Structure formats: C-alpha cells, structure tokens
Structure 1
C-alpha cells in the first residue's frame, strides 16, 4: 500500500502547489511567470446504411480528450506540468460497444538552470488507462489483458533538461526508478508485464530514461507535436529498451472545429515482444486555451495551439 500511496501523494502535492502558486500569481505577480496552453477536444463519427448493396454496419463513435501544458518560469527556475487524458468508444451494429482510445499520462518536471538552456532537474510521470482492455478488439467476452493501473507506470528520477525554446524539450535521467503496477488481481501472474511471481502487484526497475518533445508548425493552422522516450533497465537486460513515439497532427478548421490525427508506436519486451501501433483520426469540436504569458525568452513559433 505504501508503494501505491507514494506516487499518488507526490502528484497530489504537485497539483496543490501548482494551484496555490497560480492563485498568488493572479493576485500579486505582475511578471506573468505562469503559462497555460491547452486543447480540449470532442470528436464524433457516424455511419448508417439502408439497403446498401456494398454492405456495411451502422455505427457511431466518440472520442474526448484534454492536453494541458502548464509552465512556471522565473529566473533560473523552470517547472513544467503536462496532463494528457483521452477516452473514446465506438458502437457498431451487431458487434456492440468497443473502446477506441484510453490514455492517462501525467508528468511534472522541475529544474534550475546551471548553463544557458540546461537545467538540473527532477521529475515524475504516471501512465495508465481508465477502463479494462480485452483481446479480440476489446471484446468484453474475450480475455482481459489490461485495466486501470494494470499496468500503471510511475517514473521518478533525477537528471538534466535541455530547453532552448518553447518548441523543444529534452530530459535525460541517468538515475530513474520505474515502477510497473498491476493492481488487477486477475492479471497478477508471473510474466504479465514483467511480474516475477504470481500475486505480485509491482515490478521495480532502475535505469536510464530519456524523453523529448518537439513541436512543429507546418503551416498556418496545421501543427505537429512529436514525443519520444527510451528506457533502459540497469538491473536486468539493459539491452531490452522500452521505446515509444507519439505524433499528434492538429488541423484547425476554425475557432471551434478541428481535425486530429494521432499515431503511437511502442515496444516493451515486458508487455509483448512485438511492435505496437495505434492510429486515430477524428473531426470535431476543439476549445483551445492560451493565456499568452511569457514562457521563455525566445518567442518563435509559440502559436502551435492557436
């Protein structure tokens, strides 16, 4: 239980401090050190058929998500917080309701600059999902293969962060603890997500973690956000790298309508010894937030969410 409460307490403390600091900034801080850039989306899709010789099944789907980047920057101090949440479903006639998107990704990173654009930093990250996942296309009648915090990944580490501008951030942590939680008792079997013995609820790893975010403005109202990470476990088979890459292409149609294309690629030996691929496409409502305050001394291409 202590192992579970530790990461939860850490994130709760970060959130509470963020809220308090934000209140003080709004009242007394005239230097505008807090920046919030965010996108809230609701994507819808639907298809219906009647006497259609080509065939097809009536279906309707939705996908909702939030992507928040909250940054505190003052003097030599940098504190960046990222919240990515997403969930979606599709209901197809004759098949039923299936999950199409399910992600929880929370991260925080605090640093102090020691050389221009380089920060000594410490941070944490939590990744999981909201609902159960099943074999055979998320069929609830099939075997369950995942659930909330099964797996759930918590990374806590120390290292350096390189941030030359608002569009590129790279963090290297040579000392990083990675905890894999499997809190669903049905999935607590040896070999599942790297668990050593039946009944284990957590796998501890210690190694190197590298992450990077690169934001690119392709043209007016078309922006691409790239994220990548690599982890190597010093304690067991360091050559078995955990690799991930994600891309979000946002195409803004007008103030409230946009289209998103996402691609996620993952390789994790402890999950499945194959490359995993996920792709989504949606058109729907989007509400962006950009408070316009200073995020860094360099201002080029800060309109990636506008």
Structure 2
C-alpha cells in the first residue's frame, strides 16, 4: 500500500511540474513578416449659386484614391511594394466635365542586407494614367495630349537601398533601364515624349535612377509624406535630368474623415521644356489600414500613420 501511495505521489508531482513548465513557457513570437499599411480616400466638393451678384458657376467634383505599402521583412530580406491609384473629375455648369486627378503608380523593390540598414536591391516600377488627357484644361474637344500608357514609364534596375526605419527609404540604381511607351497611335509622332520617328511606340533609355521617401509627423494627426526621384540617361544628354517631387499633407479630423493637400512638381525635357505643377485639395472620407505591423527594432516609429 505504501508503495502504491509512493507511485501515485511521484506521478502527481511529475504532472504538476509538467503543467507548471507549460504555463511558464514563453509566449510564441507573434511578429509578422508582412506589414500592410494603406489609405482609401473619397474626396467631394460642391458649389451652388442662385442670384449671386458676385458671380460663379455651379459645380460638383470628386476624387478617389488608394495608397498602399506592403512590406515583407524577415532576417536579411526586405521586399517593399507600393500601390498608388487616383482618379477625380469636376463638372462645372457651362463648361462640362474635366479630369482633376489621374495616376497609376506601381513599384516593387527587393533587397538583401549586406550592412546595417543597407541592402543590395533590384526593383521595377510602372507609372501611367487611366484615361485620356486633353490640351486646354482637358477639354475633350481640344487636342489629345496623353492617354493610358501614353506615356507609360517602366523602370527596371539594380543598386542599393538604405532604410534605417519606416520613415525613410532611399534607393540608388546606377544600372537602370527605362522604357517610355506611347501606345496611342494618335500620339506616335517624332518628338512626342522623346520618340525618334513617327510611328514609334517606345523609347529605350539606360542610366542612373535615385528615389527617396521621407515621412514626417508635423503634429498630432497631421502627417507629411515626401517623395522624390531623379533620372539621368547615360545614352543621350545625361545632363538633362528628369526630376520629380511629390508631397501629400494628410490632416486627420477623426477616424473616417480627413483633409488632403497634394503637390506634384515634374521636369522632363522629353515632355515639355518647362516645370510642371499639379496641386489638389480635398476633404472627405478616409479609411486607414494598418495590419501586421512588425515590432522589431526597425519598426519602432509608426506614429506618422496612426
């Protein structure tokens, strides 16, 4: 009987010890390799006049957009994907419908870390628009000056990426192939977007491409995202730099309403020999997505998006 009690006691002790070991075991690492950050927006504007001696024309407009950043980060691997979509129109009485925003921008960049915050990287990007654009304020009765993939810019290259945190990323590609596509036959004329001959549908360039993204939290619920790029064509007039800068000022009013101000500057000798400027302002609905954000040391500053 004593032997039986001894065996039962030992068994119970082992069981309790096993349970305590399981309870005290450290929780599994919940850090995710993928992070998805994005914002969906719908901006509306409207003005109405009746017997208004100051004058004015009734108008209504809208602008919809999506901006996503999908990042995979695990070990020495870094893979960043950016999706920017935007389209908007304004209808003014007596004038008609005009396009106010039109952009389709996709990019991907994979890097392998070789030093702290530095990565050997390869990447590609596509930049174009959804619909036709016209001279004279996008008047459909005026001359057509652009369309989907006219122009369309495709970049493929290799270089290095510097990314100390989520707020700053810089990529330098000393070897970058750049194709300019003009797939609208009405625009395939010599000199248009750099085309060499009538009927050409593309232009090939090879050179240096540098890009950077810098995000700043100006104050609570007010964030500024800056993007910049520079391209130099080794094959023809490398001094004619293609320069681009974009800024998005997001002012969050509450969880679902925000105000956005955008500014875009562009100089491209093959388009027009002048600096181009585009600015928009809108107030409307905004829905943010912040899913799977990593808690590693490289993900220590996410406040700009919250």
Same topology, TM > 0.5: yes
Which of 1 and 2 has greater Rg?
2
Q: For 1:196, what is the secondary structure of its paired residue?
A: coil
Q: Deviations over 1:214-272 (max 9, x none)?
A: 00001110000000000000000000000000000000000000000000000000000
Q: Relative to 1, partners in 2 of residues 1:250 and 1:299: Cα closer, same or farther, differing over 3 Å?
A: same
**Residues 80 and 110, structure 2, Cα contact 8 Å, conserved in 1:** yes
RMSD across aligned positions (CA): 1.3
Alpha-carbon distance, 1:291 to partner? 1.1
Distance in structure 1 (CA, Å) of the matches to 2:304 and 2:36: 13
Alignment of 1:49-64 (within 5 A): 49-64=49-64
Q: Distance between the aligned counterparts of 2:182 and 2:106, measured in 1?
A: 18
Q: For 2:217 and 2:295, how far apart are their aligned partners in 1?
A: 17
Moved more, 294-303 or 45-54: 294-303
Deviation at 1:305, TM superposition (A): 2.1
Aligned equivalents of 2:180 and 2:30: distance in 1? Answer: 42
Q: Note the C-alpha offset of 1:86.
A: 0.0
Q: How many residues align?
A: 279
Unpaired segments ≥5 residues, structure 1: 1-28
Q: Residues 82-101 of structure 1: matches in 2 within 5 Å?
A: 82-101=82-101
Please state how far the C-alpha of 1:297 moved relative to its aligned partner: 1.9
Secondary structure of the 1:304 match is helix
- Once the two structures are superposed, the pairs formed by residues 2-21 of structure 1 within 5 Å of their partners are none
Check conservation: 2:34, 2:292, Cα contact below 8 A.
no
CA contact (8 A) 2:31 2:295 kept: no
Residue 137 of structure 1 aligns to a residue whose secondary structure is helix
Alignment match, 1:268 = 268
Structure 2: stretches of 5+ with no match in the other structure:
1-28
Q: Which digits, 9 at most, give the CA deviation of each residue in 1:98-117, with x for residues without a partner?
A: 00000000000000000000
How does the TM-score come out when normalised to structure 2? 0.90
Looking at structure 2, the residues matched to 31 and 255 of structure 1 have their Cα atoms a distance apart, in angstroms, of: 26
Q: Residues 173-188 of structure 1 correspond to what in structure 2 (within 5 A)?
A: 173-188=173-188
- Report matched runs for 1:133-144 at 5 Å: 133-144=133-144
Please name the residue that 1:239 is paired with. 239
**Match of residue 282 from structure 1:** 282
How far off its partner does 1:30 sit?
A: 4.8
C-alpha contact 1:71 1:295 (8 A) present in aligned 2? no
SS in 1 for 2:149: coil
Aligned residue for 1:205? 205
Whole-Å Cα distance in 1 between the matches of residues 214 and 240 of structure 2? 25
Structure 2 counterpart of 1:149: 149
Q: Does 1:256 align with 2:256?
A: yes
- Measure, in 2, the Cα distance between the counterparts of 1:303 and 1:86: 25
Q: Give the superposition deviation at 1:55.
A: 0.1
Deviation at 1:304, TM superposition (A): 1.8
